[in-house]
Amino acid sequence: MTALYKLDLVRYGYTKKTVLDITQLEIQENSITALLGSNGAGKSTLLNLFAFLDSPQQGVITFKGEKVNADELLSFRRQVGLVAQKPYLLQGTVFDNIALGLKFRAISTEMVKKRVVDALEMVGIAAFAERAANELSGGEAQKVALARALALQPTVLLLDEPFSHLDQASIDELDRLINYFVSREGHSVIFTTHDRLHASALADEVMGLVSGQVVYAPLLNLFRGQVAGEIFKTEKISINLPADIRSGKQIAIDPSEIVLSKQSLTSSMRNSYQGRIVMIAEEKGRVRVTIEAGERFHVQITHQSLNELGLSLGEAAWVNFKSTALRVL
């Protein structure tokens, strides 16, 4: 695979606050990438850099093998479509909103009409062309913004929290569109989300952002707290750490390295917590079991393990893991 974006020693901030501090990041072309993170983690700022709406204050961004210079942003920007979490629509009709960007590119009237109609059909709102933009619901406005981006025929589509205002039918429809855009058109999609399960199901690669830094550790079990000796204390539980860790405010635990049991185990695993199963879900051929045990733990197991353990929703179960399964962030 070819690298779509490469970031090296990139930093960006506002006044005295650093929003992004990325040592190295590489995103592959012709793929779907999900950016996970809480509010304020830097996801939207990173999308703005990917959309070439701004330049990093330090570091280098490479796009399709070409170094991005601040004075050449427009030429790169034309290859990218960005759909904001809260898209801004102009006065006028849906057709007018989608057509405007095409007119700025001096495209013929006939071709403008064709591209607008095609884009509306792609997102499933062909009948909306003459509707007033200010009469749309949040979900409808998001579809119009998506059609507006698609009409410009970008090779990269950037979506900021694209599923937040959609019902389940619209989410399924957008999933199909994203897969079509990548698999059939050979393009790339990067989207931000809070939904770890959806990200894992849809994306080829899932990356986490924590306080502006890229984290490749799974973020399904991300806990805040403080280190006290060889213990990491959250507000609800104490977790045994490896002896070499002396600081850190957040930890992540790989869900595939957690062992589930129906009884307490006698083993070398230093961390064991009894809880109750609150969710069992399918995830890319495996099973995710969510257990409330002081903190909420997400565990990935096989279907065979689920059957052998005889686990059911609402039952008691034990979460067990070694201290080496932890990563301090």
Q: What is the pLDDT of residues 93-129, one digit of tens each?
A: 999 999 999 998 889 999 999 999 999 999 999 999 9
pLDDT at 185: 78
SS3 labels along 38-73? CCCCCHHHHHHHHCCCCCCCEEEEEECCEECCHHHH
Per domain, the residue ranges of the chain are 3-79+154-215, 91-150, 222-328
CATH architecture type of domain 222-328: Beta Barrel (2.40)
Q: Beta strand pairing status for 3-14 and 17-28?
A: antiparallel
pLDDT in tens, 258-276: 999 999 888 889 999 999 9
Is the pLDDT assigned to residue 329 strictly greater than 80?
Answer: no
Residue 29's nearest CA partner among 217, 284, 204 is: 204
Going by C-beta distance under 8 Å and a sequence separation of 6 or more, which residues neighbour residue 172?
none
Find out whether 312 and 277 touch, Cβ atoms under 8 Å.
Answer: yes
pLDDT in tens, 14-66: 888 899 999 999 999 999 999 988 888 899 999 999 999 999 999 999 999 99
pLDDT at 97: 95
Higher pLDDT, 298 or 285: 298
- Amino acid code (one letter) for 305: S
Is this model's pTM higher than 0.85 or not?
no
Q: Which CATH class is domain 3-79+154-215?
A: alpha beta
Helices and strands: H and E segment counts in the chain: 8, 21
Is the pLDDT assigned to residue 131 strictly greater than 90?
Answer: yes
Phi and psi torsions of 8, nearest 5°: -130, 120
Angle, CA of 47, 168 and 135, to the nearest 5°: 75
pLDDT at 117: 96
